[in-house]
Amino acid sequence: MSQLEAAVEDALRAPSVHNSQPWRWRISTGEVRLYADEERHLIATDPDRRDLVLSCGAALHHLCVALAARDLAADVRRLPDPEDRTLLATVSVRHEPRGGDPDAAALYPAIAERRTDRRRMSRRPIPADHLQKLVEQASRTGASLVPVTDPARRQKLLAVIAEGERLLREEPGYASELWVWTHRLSGCHDGVPASHVAASVIDAIGPSPLRHFGTPGRAQAPWQPGHGTGEDAAELLVVTTAGDDVLDHLEAGEATSAVLLAATGLGHATTPLSQALEVDRTRLQVRRDILHVPEHPQLVVRVGWPATGAPALPPTPRRDLHAVLMT
């Protein structure tokens, strides 16, 4: 396997909406091209392709991290062909001594370690300097990360996320689309397996930000007696961009990847949350009533310490490299 093939294989570990892995790749001498796989577009969940492009942006960032770890310099051209909306990026690779970006390379070990953790997290607060490091990671991609740490604003955000999911469930085709991606046929290497769906927290005092994927396959560990309710200390962070077009969605995906990998490297558990941003009404509420910023919210990231004693999650399935390569 060539270095470029190995780097693309690492990029396949990127998170994606419903683990749909909506990407295709073409490798040639000194170049990798990233394409959106329109056949994996979740039309009911993601009518404007926001999640699809954001997912591909996360894979693009994973690729650049994997190239940097191999000491390869990468020049990225985003949306290089205005006549082909499926071609999202062209990555030209140069073989140079010490050509890899050391900041990107430092994130590489987290690619294999990162999981989407839908379980209750610890009550241990995240240090302020950790949040600042995540903010800095997002800014390196051109996006922004806004921590929603004020308790009142956090409760509003939780309520808007829950409202976004309620509205999604009223959309024609949403329920069947969700069922398809949570009940994959034996031998499929995509979708959300039951082993990664956690049971609801029965003693929580507020709305849950987690999407309801159906029958859970993983129990929530109970709190110790006398420890109060099921609320944890996970923080909610919102990825925002200056605009709201395809390039911004791609950039938001790159920022999401940077934040998730950096958080994993710091020892945190993470959960991307997109429900509130998949509905026009709730996306506007997040921007206008919660963040109070001119930028456009693209994704919410839940970050916290893993709950004490929580077992490590297995990796979610991924398609083989040969299944996503274009000739």
Question: Structure tokens of 145?
Answer: 């990360």
Residues 270 and 147 in one domain: yes
Residues 42 and 165 in one domain: no
Write 177-181 long-range contacts (CB < 8 A, 24+): 177/42, 177/43, 177/44, 177/45, 178/18, 178/45, 178/213, 178/214, 179/214, 181/18, 181/19, 181/20, 181/42
pLDDT the model gives residue 92 = 97
Residues 54 and 155 in one domain: no
* Structural domains of the chain, count: 2
Query: Cα separations (Å) of 257 from 30, 114, 127, 197, 225?
Result: 24, 10, 21, 21, 37
In order along its 327 residues, the chain shows pLDDT tens digits of 799 999 999 999 999 999 999 999 999 999 999 999 999 999 999 999 999 999 999 999 999 999 999 999 999 999 999 999 999 999 999 887 666 789 999 999 999 999 999 999 999 999 999 999 999 999 999 999 999 999 999 999 999 999 999 999 999 999 999 999 999 987 889 999 887 787 766 555 567 787 877 666 565 666 554 444 557 999 999 999 999 999 999 999 999 999 999 999 999 999 999 999 999 999 999 999 999 999 999 999 999 999 988 889 999 999 999 999 998
Residues 133 and 84 in one domain: no
Residues 171 and 109 in one domain: no
Residues 251 and 133 in one domain: yes
Identify the CA nearest to 89 among candidates 72, 64, 68, 111.
64
Residues 97 and 182 in one domain: no
Cross-strand bridge partners of residue 36: 23
Residue 123 in any domain: the answer is no
Check if the beta carbon of residue 64 is closer than 8 Å to that of residue 91. yes
Where helices occur in the chain by DSSP H, the ranges are 3-11, 50-69, 102-105, 109-113, 128-139, 151-169, 174-182, 246-265, 280-285, 321-324
Name the pTM for this structure.
0.94
Q: Is 292 exposed, middle or buried (0-12, 13-18, 19+ CB in 10 A)?
A: exposed
Residues 37 and 171 in one domain: no
pLDDT the model gives residue 204 = 59
CA atoms within 13 A on the CB side of 120: 21
Which amino acid belongs to residue 143? A
| DSSP conformational letter for 288 | I
Residues 269 and 186 in one domain: yes
Helical (H) or strand (E) element with 78: strand 73-78
pLDDT the model gives residue 257 = 98
Residue 122 in any domain: the answer is no
Which amino acid belongs to residue 23? W
Residues 181 and 262 in one domain: yes
How many CB atoms neighbour CB 290 within 10 A?
A: 23
Residue 165 in any domain: the answer is yes
Give the domain extent around 69. Answer: 3-113+319-324
CATH number at residue 269: 3.40.109.10
Residue 118 in any domain: the answer is no
Residue 120 in any domain: the answer is no
DSSP string, 183-242: SPPTT---S--GGGPBPP-TT-SS---S---SS-SBPPPPPPTTS-SS----EEEEEEES
Residues 145 and 272 in one domain: yes
